[in-house]
Amino acid sequence: MSPETLVPASLDAAGTPFSTEAFDQFVMTSYGRFPLALVRGAGSRVWDSEGREYLDFVAGIATCTLGHAHPAMVEAVTQQIQTLHHVSNLYYIPAQGELAQWLVEHSCADRVFFCNSGAEANEGAIKLARKYAHTVLGIQDPVILTANASFHGRTLATITATGQPKYQQNFSPLVPGFHYVPYNDFGALEAAIAQIDQAERRVAAILLEPLQGEGGVRPGDREYFQRVRQLCDEKGILLILDEVQVGMGRTGHYWGYEALGIEPDIFTSAKGLGGGIPIGATLCKAFCDVFKPGDHASTFGGNPFVCAVALSICRTLEQDNLLANVQARGEQLRAGLRAIAAQRPDQIAEVRGWGLINGLELKGDIELTSLDVVKGAIAEGLLLVPAGPKVVRFVPPLIVTAAEIDQALEILERTLAAL
């Protein structure tokens, strides 16, 4: 399939041009959107309603694992929608069992609970940790530690877990039982636990991202995470890792915790798991049996449709050896970004990341923001997404090619030169 054959149809079959004004009249104003409507995709490329082509290094925010219109995904979607799409968890769902088996066989988890999003997966993890604290550890008032600059979702419990006041503003009262610590700082973590012990409360769990995505593409420090794991073992604290953005191969490993050389007690997945179909998962070691029938549920969670599609993503990841591509393309991208950074020390402070989640941090003492770079890149035909005011994030599909990485680097160079 050559890109030339993929000129998109108009959004509206009648030929009415897409109108952002009409859209904004009917859709709630909770998002700040870029003024373009994407209507078609193939591989790592998308087209807008005007027929313009973009290289997609956003991938639906680190979600479209196999890019757009991948044959394996198209086949799974088509086959399952024609067979059975939803029945509820009143019944056994074979595809749910198969997907859970794949996940268990490719991770440190023993069992899986399926839901529909990252926030919901983290809600499940929080409920599971609390039930374990109450029923096994005998803690009446459990505290969960999370990190500053973290991101765990937009429900009330997960904005509370998120250590960024901007997401919590005007939504109080928040959910009790959370306490924040600086990321990658073991001394501060120990001090916080001692302080909470003194107040005669108890830390039941620590919830961390292996690499902070939204908070600025900040990789976890290996030594820090290994010490946290050891401390959790000594004190009987659960270690929960939020793998919503970095799991499912994005780091060049199936799971981000593999890059840190540790295993969590509970972890969560969502974004890349369904390749863009809404699905989330809470994964846990055997103690998850504290959940009894009726304790936790989701009407849509793990339905035949999403599980069949997610299975096609998992199997393709494995069969096509995409982890090797993620590692190679990630190295190529970081090398290219570092070369650009070396040419532009006045604009760029740092390049960092793992596999195909990478960040370009702009100098703090200049006016240029990540949003300026993202807008400039869109005008040049490259989709990027900010991770905070100063970091530009690169999260292409895991099938991205060497030529596409080179093209993205060329466009970025042109964009930065024009700013």
Instruction: Tell me which residues in 26-55 interact with ligand PLP (CB under 6 A).
Output: none
- Token pair, residue 230, equals 């050891």
Spell out the alpha helix ranges (H) of 261-320: 304-319
**Helix axis angle, 304-319 to 94-105, nearest 10°:** 30
Q: Is 141 an annotated catalytic residue?
A: no
Which one from 48, 131, 225, 242 is the annotated catalytic residue? 242
Instruction: Tell me which residues in 268-287 interact with ligand PLP (CB under 6 A).
Output: 270-271
Q: Is 242 an annotated catalytic residue?
A: yes
Nearer to ligand PLP, 151 or 180 (CB): 151
Q: Is 267 an annotated catalytic residue?
A: no
Helix (H) or strand (E) holding 342: helix 322-343
Nearer to ligand PLP, 115 or 409 (CB): 115
Backbone dihedral angles phi then psi of residue 50, each to the nearest 5 degrees: -95, 0
Counting contacts by CB under 6 A, is residue 151 touching ligand PLP?
yes
Q: Where are the beta strands (DSSP E) in 177-260?
A: 178-181, 202-208, 211-212, 218-219, 238-242
| Residue 17 DSSP SS3 | coil
Which one from 56, 271, 305, 390 is the annotated catalytic residue? 271
Spell out the alpha helix ranges (H) of 27-151: 59-62, 71-81, 94-105, 118-132
Instruction: Tell me which residues in 209-228 interact with ligand PLP (CB under 6 A).
Output: 209, 213-214
Spell out the alpha helix ranges (H) of 92-206: 94-105, 118-132, 156-161, 165-168, 186-198
- Token pair, residue 14, equals 């009648």
**Which residue's C-beta sits nearest to ligand PLP?**
118
Counting contacts by CB under 6 A, is residue 248 touching ligand PLP?
no
Counting contacts by CB under 6 A, is residue 117 touching ligand PLP?
yes
Counting contacts by CB under 6 A, is residue 264 touching ligand PLP?
no
Closest approach, Cβ 16 to ligand PLP, in A, equals: 31
With contacts defined by CB under 6 A, how many residues of the chain interact with ligand PLP?
15
Residue among 68, 131, 152, 250 that touches ligand PLP (CB under 6 A): 152
Nearer to ligand PLP, 341 or 387 (CB): 387
| Residue 390 DSSP SS3 | coil
Closest approach, Cβ 120 to ligand PLP, in A, equals: 7
Counting contacts by CB under 6 A, is residue 244 touching ligand PLP?
yes
Nearer to ligand PLP, 117 or 282 (CB): 117
Nearer to ligand PLP, 95 or 125 (CB): 125
Closest approach, Cβ 381 to ligand PLP, in A, equals: 26
| Beta carbons within 8 Å of 237's beta carbon, 6+ residues apart | 193, 203, 204, 205, 206, 231
Binding-site string for ligand PLP from residue 77 to residue 116, where x marks contact by CB under 6 A and - marks none: ----------------------------------------
Q: Where are the beta strands (DSSP E) in 170-309?
A: 178-181, 202-208, 211-212, 218-219, 238-242, 266-269, 280-284
Q: How many CB atoms lie within 10 A of CB 278?
A: 16
Helix (H) or strand (E) holding 358: strand 357-362
Stretch of 26-34, 151-159, 177-185, 335-343 contacting ligand PLP, by CB under 6 A: 151-159
For binding to ligand PLP (CB under 6 A), which residues are involved?
117-119, 122, 151-153, 209, 213-214, 242, 244-245, 270-271
Q: Kindly list the catalytic residues.
A: 151, 242, 271
